[in-house]
């Protein structure tokens, strides 16, 4: 029986035991990571790597949109923000435009930081105040 990669096993366990709030934070972190990789790929002239990583960010944004709870008014606002970010990602991918990706990265960081604050104030999303 082959031994599993301990790092991969740790990551799998981390995801499987995460709360919904922690999973959302992980998605934001992933989107930021992939956006950074795409920016570096453009700088290095690796357009395929840039494309692949922009698509990963697009997929995360689509996941955020798909999981919005539209019984709350604020979901409409988030939907508009996600639509904007997604359209900017498509544009950045078509043009391989680093400046657009940096703009998207700024939005993602702001949203991630806001989410961290929500988690802090609600005890990791487990209480409603």
Residuewise pLDDT in 10s, the chain (129 residues): 556 787 677 667 767 777 889 999 999 999 999 999 999 999 999 999 999 999 999 999 999 999 999 999 999 999 999 999 999 999 999 999 999 999 999 999 999 999 999 999 998 766 544
Query: Of the candidates 66, 109, 68, 103, which has an alpha carbon nearest to the alpha carbon of residue 85?
Result: 103
Q: What are the domain boundaries of the chain?
A: 19-121
The whole-number pLDDT of residue 8 equals 73
Where do we find the tokens 């999973």?
Answer: 23
Q: Computed over its alpha carbons, how large is the radius of gyration of the chain?
A: 16
Where do we find the tokens 């689509």?
Answer: 62
The whole-number pLDDT of residue 129 equals 43
- Measured distance CA(30)–CA(108) in Å, rounded: 10
The whole-number pLDDT of residue 42 equals 98
Answer whether CATH 1.20.120.340 is correct for domain 19-121: yes
Name the 3-class secondary structure at 68. coil
- Measured distance CA(9)–CA(28) in Å, rounded: 21
């Amino acid at each position: 029986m082959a031994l599993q990669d301990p790092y991969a096993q740790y990551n799998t366990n981390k995801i499987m035991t995460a709360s919904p709030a922690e999973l959302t934070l992980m998605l934001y972190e992933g989107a930021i990571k992939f956006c950074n990789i795409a920016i570096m790929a453009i700088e290095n002239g690796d357009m395929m790597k840039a494309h692949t990583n922009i698509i990963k960010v697009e997929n995360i944004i689509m996941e955020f949109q798909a999981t919005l709870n539209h019984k709350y008014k604020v979901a409409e606002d988030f939907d508009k923000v996600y639509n904007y970010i997604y359209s900017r990602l498509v544009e950045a991918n078509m043009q391989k435009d680093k400046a657009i990706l940096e703009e998207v990265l700024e939005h993602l960081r702001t949203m991630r930081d806001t989410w961290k604050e929500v988690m802090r104030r609600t005890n990791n999303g487990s209480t409603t105040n």
